[in-house]
Chains A and B, each alone.
Chain A
Amino acid sequence: MRAWIERQRGLVDYAVASLRRRRGRNLGLFLAYTLLVFLLASVVLYGDALRREARALLADAPELVVQRLNAGRQDLVPGAWLDKLQGMRGVRGLEGRLWGYYYDPAIAANLTFQVPLEAPPPPGQVGIGAALARARGLEPGDVFSLRTYAGQPYAFTVARILSPASDLASADLLLLHAADYRAFFGLPADVYTDLALRVGNEREVRKVAEKVLERLPGARVIARDEMRRTYEAAFNWRQGLLLTLLSTVLVAFALLAWDKASGLSAEERREIGILKALGWDTGDVLRMKLWEGALVSLGAFLAGYSLAWMHVFHADAPLFTAVLKGWSVLYPAFSLRPQVDLAQLAALAFLSVLPYVAATLVPVWRAATLDPDEVMRG
């Protein structure tokens, strides 16, 4: 056992020295390898971080949302529905929600108006998202007005700017009091946009949903899990699409690696011949060359991953933002929270190192099986 370790150690030493001697030759490949890992890792890191953000966001959402449909389109929910759903088993909380969209021509963007269920701002005051504040140049205490659908201007005072921590959702948000909402949109007192139900036990959600449909036949019930699934699917799909597009880069890299490994210089052939003449067998030469490959892979993987990390978490991934985040005029300036995931690393390693190994194995083996005969004849 000890002998085996010493032997490997000797082979690794030789591999390191060999790489150092041929630095120039290997540099091109190393850079290409690093680039590949960088691209793959950027996509994976960014997509995963977005997914985590969305999941965190949805964690606070109500388990069930009840909407009213009118000829297939969403309609306002009457207050009577709240009464109909009273006293259902398993339901911890039942509330009517008020929220909607508003197009602000001044900044050419869609705003989301929302009456928060907890701690709404005092009448006349609003909390606004950071992106909105930026776009309109607003600070707490400022007064601004928006035109209602009736054509009248409506004044709001900025109470606070929402914290950028959950900027993904709050960028274009405007939080206001229920009275303001109804006045602004001209809604009667007893209607809501939809109803939010909180269910205590996760396993009961399905049953509760069924019961709601029994009591309110025209309703549409959306489960939080379904929303979560949809978000995840969207991010997954986009990520996967990008990765598949990057497969062309992968193939190009594999070809480069294969070419590099196949083209042994006369010097390299001579060296292998000498080693074999000195008493290294094919297995030793093969293992030494595999160590070379392993060291290059490790170096490229670390370099590429680190660069991707910085690209995604410190520079906000300018290369992929458009595709992965989706559409919006007001891009939130949020920073994703970095997190290392072992499974993610494993997947990345498979995607980047395996093609390299696959491309170089046969050429490396061919090199290792050279005959020492020729060396003797000098």
Chain B
Amino acid sequence: MIELHQVSKVFNPGQGNEYTAIHDVSLAIEPGRCTALRGPSGSGKTTLLGLIGGLSRPSRGRVRLDGRDISALPERFLTELRRLRFGFVFQQFQLIRGLSVLENVMLPAIPTGHPYRQVRARALGLLEDLGLGHRAATETQWLSGGEAQRVAIARALINDPPVILADEPTAHLDSGLSRQILAVLADLGAQGRTVILSSHDPLVFEVRLVERVIDIRDGALLP
């Protein structure tokens, strides 16, 4: 259960280019369901997603995870929490060039100290499930958009997190691939995970996936 209480995020505070991305947002995300943040570009969806997932700290307000305040945790604790509870799929995929698909997928598991073989086996399993088993040794710069997106999802799942956050999951994909990805996300939801995504793509809201929509505009929630 993720709760935000009157959260604001201000970038470059006190400087000439001060910019408030999120104004006084309060919301609660229910576990086990798929929630979508809907709004145009620049509405603050990505920032809000980051705040929900503990990727950044609020300038004001509090973020609670299962009742526990995580806004003021020291970095190493916040990071550990994020590592184990959240899986991120970024808008630009953000895979590391020069490393193979398999190595990329295993990255979030390195700080956990789990035995290498276990992690590798799990990573291969995830890739197989997503139909990418044959691409395990390929370097990421040779992947197509759809493949890269699926690698990003596999990477997000390596630590078996209960919550998946996906930022604009269909942004760089055509309709066919978009539907595939949304099907994967629906699968994850069926497994009992909490899925939170942000999008302004109408296709996302057409398919049977999203159970709750939160509209956001100019950094504030629309009632």
Contact = CB atoms under 8 A, between A and B. Distances in A.
A108 interface: no
B111 A378 contact: no
A284 B110 contact: yes
Contacts of A54: none
Contact of A373 (B55, B79, B94, B109): B55
How many residues of B sit at the interface, in one of the four size bands?
A: 35 or more
B56 interface: yes
Interface in B104-155: 107-116, 155
B168 to A, nearest CB: 9
Contacts of B194: none
B159 A274 contact: no
A377 B42 CA distance: 10
A3 B109 CA distance: 11
B91 A2 contact: no
Given A2-B113, A7-B110, A282-B75, A21 B98 contact: yes
A281 B54 CA distance: 13
Nearest to B98: A21
Given A279-B159, A282-B75, A376 B90 contact: yes
A271 B96 contact: yes
A94 to B, nearest CB: 75
Nearest to A285: B111
Given A3-B114, A11-B110, A284-B110, A277 B76 contact: no
Interface in A231-279: 267, 270-271, 274-279
B107 A275 contact: yes
Contacts, number: 92
Interface centre among A280, A373, A376 (most CB of B within 10 A): A376
B47 interface: yes
Given A284-B110, A373-B56, A279 B92 contact: no
B75 A281 contact: yes
Contact of A279 (B56, B82, B113, B167): B82
A283 interface: yes
Nearest to A278: B108
A377 B91 CA distance: 8
A277 B55 contact: yes
B216 to A, nearest CB: 15
Nearest to B115: A6
A164 to B, nearest CB: 55
A375 interface: yes
A267 to B, nearest CB: 8
A280 B90 contact: no
Contact of A281 (B50, B80, B84, B107): B80
A281 B94 contact: no
B47 A17 contact: no
A277 B111 contact: no
17 contacts: A2-B113, A3-B113, A4-B113, A10-B109, A17-B98, A17-B103, A21-B99, A274-B94, A278-B83, A279-B79, A279-B83, A281-B76, A281-B111, A372-B56, A376-B47, A376-B55, A378-B90
Given A279-B111, A282-B76, 18 more contacts: A3-B113, A3-B114, A9-B116, A10-B109, A10-B113, A11-B110, A267-B97, A270-B94, A274-B96, A275-B107, A277-B55, A277-B94, A279-B108, A280-B79, A282-B75, A375-B94, A377-B47, A378-B46
Interface of A: 2-7, 9-11, 13-14, 17, 21, 267, 270-271, 274-284, 371-373, 375-378
Interface of B: 46-47, 49-50, 55-56, 75-76, 79-80, 82-84, 88, 90-92, 94, 96-99, 103, 107-116, 155, 159, 167
